[in-house]
Structure 1
Amino acid sequence: MIEIFFGFLTLFVHEDPDIDLQLTVYSSKADRALEAIPGQVQVITAEDIEKNQWNTVAEALATQPGLTLVNQGGDGSLTRLFLRGANSEHVLVLVDGAERNHAGGVARAYDFAHVSTVGVERIEIMYGPQSVLYGSDAVAGVINIVTKTAKEKMTGAATATWGEDQWSTRAEFQTRTGETGIYVSAEQRQSGGLSASDDRQIESPEKDDAAHTHARVGLDHKFQRLQTGIKLDWLEGRLDLDAFGGDFGDDSNYRGNIRESSAVAFAGFQWFEGAESRVQINFSETRRRDRNPDDYQPDLVARSEYTGHNMELDWRNTFAIASSSRLLAGVEWEQERAEGSDRYYFGDTPFDSALDADADTRAVYAQLGGTWPKGSYLAGARYDDHDRFGGELTYQLGGTWSLSDATHLSAQYGTAFRAPSLYQLYSQYGNRELEAERGKLWEVGIHHRWSNLEWDVRHHRADYEELMSFFFDPETFASYYINEASAEIKGTESSITARFKQVSFRVYGELLDTKDASGNELLRRPKNRYGLSVNGQYGERWHWSLNWLHEGERKDITFDPLDFSQVRINLKAIDLVDLGAQAKVTQRMSIQAHISNALDDEAVRVFGYLSHGRRYTLGITAHL
């Protein structure tokens, strides 16, 4: 089969365009070139999103090496990300630099369930420790979603998509007059047709619907030496929930609502050649509200409502040192706030809990990067002062070495931390004596480039200590969080990428070895994962895509029905194939067709929860 594929591939090879490694990585804060960063970086562009018809950020991330997404059901269900096997709360998620991790959540982990790709210019994935630049939560890596900025005088597009159990509409518009530009985008999506819980005790379980509305606005203006801008992002999602996965988990009354928003205001000034400053103010808010009326007494409503706020001020300066080095130095202030409450019933008796807390963090950081005749180097340090648990020092070292014009070695080592969440500190299960979780991470790699071919191999290791876990005291019957867990993660990633005139492809694979303090595998992390992405073009009007993802077996837990003890089980391997085609009908109109999960695989990532089978969609796009 491989021979047939590569034989077919040669039919399209007419030109050999070079692979561009000068792509700027904005989440490096100093806007460094991709090839100057020693750690692994992946960039998903707007062109990639359009060609593969990825409607959500989760769909795009699922095709990348080292990223495992775990969802509890179909569209709109809770979706967490494991980056190189690390916990989901060890990944910092940004939108235009604004932190979107839920400050009111249990561990501040981010939920990717409803995030649309509408108006997205690129998605940057920085692997490895990034606490030097971003402080808490950037332990295993950073996901930075960069939205579009107006580039042309006036353009726009509108798309409508239909499927058996889903529909969506999206629109984008941009205009630029002189030095002022505005970009507006919005999407509305609704889907259903699936019960999240695999409840086999009910003949016809309720189908859980989901819907979201996502809008983005960007405004910028450039003066002679001053660049200013504002970016707004607003998301609201609605979904039907089930009580839990598996038998008796279906719940026809359970409803959830999530609302996220962020605002970014920035100003960048060039003092003189080689000296620049940037001030950025970020604000974000996440509100999650769940309600579940009792089946027999509708007036008894179990509910949970938590809101998290983040406010951040970042002042950073970049200075050119000689001709080959740049110093990045900055100060940062952040305030997080959480408020919310829970109510549940035992019989007719209500039990309530509430949370209202905040914390401030002040930080100073510096990073020196540059090139030398045989490669590049990067070194940095940061000190964070958290007003609840004290200070934390992190650092990072890395570099690249050129064996030849085509072959490069790279290495990176760094430390990182995650501060306890406000929920873990101050909720009814909180512990004010908690310390920060800490990680030591390193990776080494080799990268080879020849014309239109690119080959990359990386080996990484992470050691996590002082991880927080939920503890129940059998003597006092008290429950609270403590620092007692640890984990060790090792892995190897490899990829081959080729770009030709009418076809491009990437093959990637990874092996992952995880274990906790007891030597057990971490839950829901596949030991092996590999995939294939192909994009092809036929003439000027036709484009097609194929994405195949294989995830090996993984461990999960269930409960023994007799004594309710935890039992570790194996979840079977997953094979997902997505097919897409697009045709340009006229200069201003195109049509799209897409088949997701073409093999109709039962892709169970969490025991007891179902996922969508084969689905067909058709779409039409009109351009201004």
Structure 2
Amino acid sequence: MRSRSRATVAALALVVAGGGMARAQQVPNDQPINVSNDTIVLDELSFTVSKTPQRLIDTLGGVSQVTQADIDRAQPSTVSDLLRTVPGVSTQVSSNDPAQSINIRGLQDFGRVNVLVDGARQDFQVSGHNANGSFYLDPEFINNIDIVRGPISNIYGSGAIGGVASFTTRGIDSILAPGERWGVEQKVGVSSNGLGAFTSTSAGYRYGDIADIYGQFLYRDQGDYRDGSGDRVRDSGSNNFGGLFKFNYHPGDGQTVSLSALSQKFDYSNFGTSDEGSRWRNNVVTSTFTAGYKFESPDNPLMNFNSKVYYSQTDYHQTLVAPDATYAALGAVPGDKLFDRIGTFGFDVYNTSRFTTGAFNHTLTYGFDAAFDRVTTEDHAGGYVSALTPSGDRHLLGAYVQDEVRYGDWLRVQGGLRFDNYGLSGGGYSSSGNHLSPKITVGVTPIKGIELYGTYAEGYRAPSITETLIAGTHPFPAFDIMPNPNLRPEVGHNFEAGTNLKFDNVFRQGDSFRGKLTGFVNNVDDYIDQANVEPGTLVCFIPGLPLNICQNIPGATGVLPAIQYVNIARARLMGVELEGAYDWGGGFVSMAGSHTNGKNLDTDLPLNTVAPNKVSGTLGLRFLEDRLTVGSRVTLVGATSKRVDTPSGGYGLVDVFASYKYNDNVSANFAIDNLFDRRYRAFLDSANSPGLAAKFSLTVKLAGK
């Protein structure tokens, strides 16, 4: 029976192994791996699904995490570098703008993926030919990333019908080990292929058990990179200067008062979101401020109180350098400026109570949250920004309750309910609405190490300011874009089923296997998308030429329909995701995969934002008493023609990496991305991705007790 069990688990490992990379200490054969220290990533803790600490392998849903070890190995220059192997996740990146946009299960833009930085919403959006919802964050500020796929985490704020991407920034524990009182860390990195260099300086101090303080400063400079054919990708360079500050104060047992501030300034030049036309100099300043209070009573399990208030803001400044014919015809001259700002004030207050009723153990979480968006645009260079990214205000209010009930060690039931209310105004229009979103999950463990679960959860996304209020004329060719104050909110109805696999001591004492397999169907009512509406507008196809003259030139005019955001009756997204890892102490192997289909049920046409199939695998080996780790990562992406304007062929990438830890204070990382210099373009991206790039970083720390 023992050999049959091992063979079964081995087969499951080959089928389900995936996603996150694995980490484990080399241990003697008679000792299990200490999962609280250096672990398989699916044993890491996450707060994102239920707001209570839970191991990823025990979450009843599609949840992944990118850890600090993953970040060190990848040596990323963008957030997208960290997410490309996460199942069900893709990113949209413009080569001439350092902003990032996250796509989960084919849903993105306008808050369908709730992006959080230290719990603060990132709701920035500017209309153009790139993603309609993005954020700016240098990966050197990131400690870990939690990804929740689907609307199973609706207690984390309104709108997340696609999922949640929660970024936790570095802090005092990033540079100080337990028992250390002070520390200074210097990290420098250089990369080939135009990806430039960075320097990061961090310092921290612990005032006993009373308080701690952490600060970090970063400068990154990147030039234009070349794709796999050696062609330079124009305007792909930028520079960033940023700072991070955190302070924690512990006034009593179980109490923490926390403050944080993150600010970044990005500078770059481009030809706008279409990569042609007028040339602009861009300056983006993004800031996130948080203040929180937490009290976990050491004597009362009914009290685990958390509250956070935050403000996030993105200022997007553009200065005209060289106008094209369209802008020149409107009187725009070099030096004219555009300005776009979104500020979001929000808070989240909740409590978790743990108690028992008979044979049932309860973890009850209840609270309320709010977010207030204010968009302000000014345009002194043509008027397009103020029309296409309109000013306005929106509020999102919510209240929620969720109870996880456990019966013995074989049954878990999670039931939740969220109430959402929104209001939106601007440009003489207004809209509002509310909704109740239920959630029910049942998890059963028929055999130790195997947990089966099923979920029904709803998500509610209010229309954004831009979708509702956009009103103006597109630059050449000049067609109209119309507002729609009658837009209805989107409602996602998500059905999900999955299996969690957790086995230790499979082939030898101390090894571990973790795996997650998830299937889902997400039916979205009143999905919002752009559509052509009548009547059309007679336009001139010759830039800068007046219409009355253009009409006398054969073929120089035509009728273009207006564009408007409208509700599609129904959209359906369905797919399967798998991930897992096997770690035997001397090394690890992991794989991940995802397949998603999405279509408009009214027209039976595919949705343009559904990413192609993806499979990735990583193999790592440890040497020199675990001080040296070497390995390789393979990523295979399928072909797609869903976006008729930018179809992409399938491609495969091979990366290699090595990490060496000389001692607790000195470490180095080396990596080569796209080892075979493959020419490819990632799904939805505006230009070809980088070819071969070699990366090296060195970290030196001084610390004392």
TM-score with structure 2 length normalisation?
A: 0.77
**1:115/1:214 contact within 8 Å kept:** no
**1:431/1:480 contact within 8 Å kept:** yes
AA in 2 matched with 1:410? Y
Which has the higher mean CA deviation after the structures are superposed, 309-318 or 231-240?
231-240
Kindly state the Cα deviation for residue 573 of structure 1 after the two structures are TM-superposed.
Answer: 0.8
Does residue 98 in structure 1 map to residue 124 in structure 2?
no
* Residue 265 of structure 2, aligned match among 221, 236, 255: 236
**2:158/2:396 contact within 8 Å kept:** no
Kindly state the Cα deviation for residue 481 of structure 1 after the two structures are TM-superposed.
Answer: 2.2
**2:224/2:234 contact within 8 Å kept:** no
* Residue 282 of structure 2, aligned match among 256, 265, 272: 256
Alignment of 1:243-392 (within 5 A): 243=272, 249-250=275-276, 253-270=279-296, 272-274=299-301, 275-292=303-320, 293-294=322-323, 299=333, 304-322=338-356, 324-342=361-379, 345=382, 353=387, 355-373=390-408, 374-387=410-423, 388-392=431-435
AA in 2 matched with 1:512? T
Kindly state the Cα deviation for residue 295 of structure 1 after the two structures are TM-superposed.
Answer: 5.1
* Residue 484 of structure 2, aligned match among 417, 421, 431: 431
Where does residue 553 of structure 1 map in the other structure? 639
Superimposed CA distance per residue, residues 70-114 of structure 1 (whole angstroms, 9 cap, x where no aligned partner): 32327x4453222122234411010111111216668995425x4
Superimposed CA distance per residue, residues 322-353 of structure 1 (whole angstroms, 9 cap, x where no aligned partner): 172111111223211111134665xxx99963
Which has the higher mean CA deviation after the structures are superposed, 354-363 or 178-187?
354-363
Does residue 468 in structure 1 map to residue 491 in structure 2?
no
Superimposed CA distance per residue, residues 409-440 of structure 1 (whole angstroms, 9 cap, x where no aligned partner): 02211111211111222332432221111111
* Residue 537 of structure 1, aligned match among 607, 622, 625: 622
Structure 2, unpaired ranges of 5+ = 1-9, 15-21, 174-179, 424-430, 472-481, 505-511, 538-561
Where does residue 84 of structure 1 map in the other structure? 105
* Residue 122 of structure 1, aligned match among 120, 144, 153: 144
**How far apart are the structure 2 equivalents of 1:78 and 1:620?**
26
**How far apart are the structure 1 equivalents of 2:502 and 2:224?**
46
**1:118/1:186 contact within 8 Å kept:** no
Where does residue 453 of structure 1 map in the other structure? 513
* Residue 677 of structure 2, aligned match among 600, 613, 618: 600
Higher relative contact order (CA 8 A, sep 6+): 2
Which has the higher mean CA deviation after the structures are superposed, 54-63 or 102-111?
102-111
**1:503/1:536 contact within 8 Å kept:** yes
Kindly state the Cα deviation for residue 61 of structure 1 after the two structures are TM-superposed.
Answer: 1.5
Does residue 27 in structure 1 map to residue 48 in structure 2?
yes
Which has the higher mean CA deviation after the structures are superposed, 398-407 or 162-171?
162-171
AA in 2 matched with 1:273? N
**1:119/1:186 contact within 8 Å kept:** no
**2:462/2:488 contact within 8 Å kept:** yes
**1:51/1:543 contact within 8 Å kept:** no
SS class of match (2:621): strand
AA in 1 matched with 2:460? F
Give the 3 Å change call, closer, same or farther, for CA 24–299 of structure 1 in structure 2. Answer: same
Kindly state the Cα deviation for residue 39 of structure 1 after the two structures are TM-superposed.
Answer: 1.1
Where does residue 544 of structure 2 map in the other structure? none
SS class of match (1:50): helix
**How far apart are the structure 2 equivalents of 1:77 and 1:251?**
20
SS class of match (2:694): strand
More strand by share: 1
Which has the higher mean CA deviation after the structures are superposed, 290-299 or 439-448?
290-299
**1:254/1:291 contact within 8 Å kept:** yes
**How far apart are the structure 2 equivalents of 1:26 and 1:446?**
20
**How far apart are the structure 1 equivalents of 2:75 and 2:404?**
37
Alignment size in residue pairs: 596
Where does residue 477 of structure 2 map in the other structure? none
**1:183/1:219 contact within 8 Å kept:** yes
Where does residue 203 of structure 2 map in the other structure? 173
Does residue 185 in structure 1 map to residue 219 in structure 2?
no
* Residue 591 of structure 2, aligned match among 507, 519, 530: 507
**How far apart are the structure 2 equivalents of 1:350 and 1:470?**
18
Which has the higher mean CA deviation after the structures are superposed, 136-145 or 464-473?
464-473
Which has the higher mean CA deviation after the structures are superposed, 354-363 or 434-443?
354-363
**How far apart are the structure 2 equivalents of 1:329 and 1:608?**
43
Where does residue 564 of structure 1 map in the other structure? none
SS class of match (1:118): helix
AA in 2 matched with 1:318? T
Superimposed CA distance per residue, residues 464-487 of structure 1 (whole angstroms, 9 cap, x where no aligned partner): 121222344332655432223642
**1:523/1:554 contact within 8 Å kept:** no
Give the 3 Å change call, closer, same or farther, for CA 489–205 of structure 1 in structure 2. Answer: closer
**How far apart are the structure 2 equivalents of 1:464 and 1:405?**
36
**How far apart are the structure 1 equivalents of 2:123 and 2:66?**
21
Which has the higher mean CA deviation after the structures are superposed, 542-551 or 176-185?
542-551
Tell me the C-alpha RMSD between the 2 structures: 3.2
* Residue 223 of structure 1, aligned match among 230, 238, 251: 251
**How far apart are the structure 1 equivalents of 2:422 and 2:393?**
11
Give the 3 Å change call, closer, same or farther, for CA 181–56 of structure 1 in structure 2. Answer: farther
Give the 3 Å change call, closer, same or farther, for CA 65–551 of structure 1 in structure 2. Answer: same
AA in 2 matched with 1:535? G
AA in 1 matched with 2:681? V
**2:655/2:671 contact within 8 Å kept:** yes
**1:14/1:500 contact within 8 Å kept:** no
Alignment of 1:471-620 (within 5 A): 471-475=531-535, 477=537, 479-484=563-568, 486-517=570-601, 518-523=603-608, 525-540=610-625, 541-555=627-641, 557=643, 567=644, 570-585=647-662, 588-605=665-682, 606=684, 609-620=687-698
* Residue 440 of structure 1, aligned match among 474, 480, 493: 493
Where does residue 459 of structure 2 map in the other structure? 416
Kindly state the Cα deviation for residue 368 of structure 1 after the two structures are TM-superposed.
Answer: 0.7
Superimposed CA distance per residue, residues 387-408 of structure 1 (whole angstroms, 9 cap, x where no aligned partner): 3312121111112110111111
**2:50/2:153 contact within 8 Å kept:** no
**2:366/2:400 contact within 8 Å kept:** yes
**How far apart are the structure 2 equivalents of 1:533 and 1:115?**
26
Kindly state the Cα deviation for residue 522 of structure 1 after the two structures are TM-superposed.
Answer: 2.5
AA in 2 matched with 1:508? A
Where does residue 556 of structure 2 map in the other structure? none
**How far apart are the structure 2 equivalents of 1:160 and 1:392?**
49
**1:206/1:250 contact within 8 Å kept:** no
Kindly state the Cα deviation for residue 147 of structure 1 after the two structures are TM-superposed.
Answer: 2.1
**How far apart are the structure 2 equivalents of 1:594 and 1:382?**
45
Structure 1, unpaired ranges of 5+ = 558-566
Which has the higher mean CA deviation after the structures are superposed, 264-273 or 227-236?
264-273
Kindly state the Cα deviation for residue 568 of structure 1 after the two structures are TM-superposed.
Answer: 5.2
Superimposed CA distance per residue, residues 489-538 of structure 1 (whole angstroms, 9 cap, x where no aligned partner): 11112234111212112112222222223222333534321001233321
Kindly state the Cα deviation for residue 458 of structure 1 after the two structures are TM-superposed.
Answer: 1.3
Does residue 59 in structure 1 map to residue 84 in structure 2?
no
SS class of match (1:433): coil
**How far apart are the structure 2 equivalents of 1:199 and 1:253?**
24
SS class of match (1:28): coil
Larger radius of gyration: 2
Superimposed CA distance per residue, residues 362-405 of structure 1 (whole angstroms, 9 cap, x where no aligned partner): 32211111321213221111111213312121111112110111
TM-score with structure 1 length normalisation?
A: 0.87
Alignment of 1:203-222 (within 5 A): 206-222=234-250
Q: Give me the identity figure in percent.
A: 18
Give the 3 Å change call, closer, same or farther, for CA 330–594 of structure 1 in structure 2. Answer: same
* Residue 134 of structure 1, aligned match among 153, 156, 165: 156
SS class of match (2:154): helix
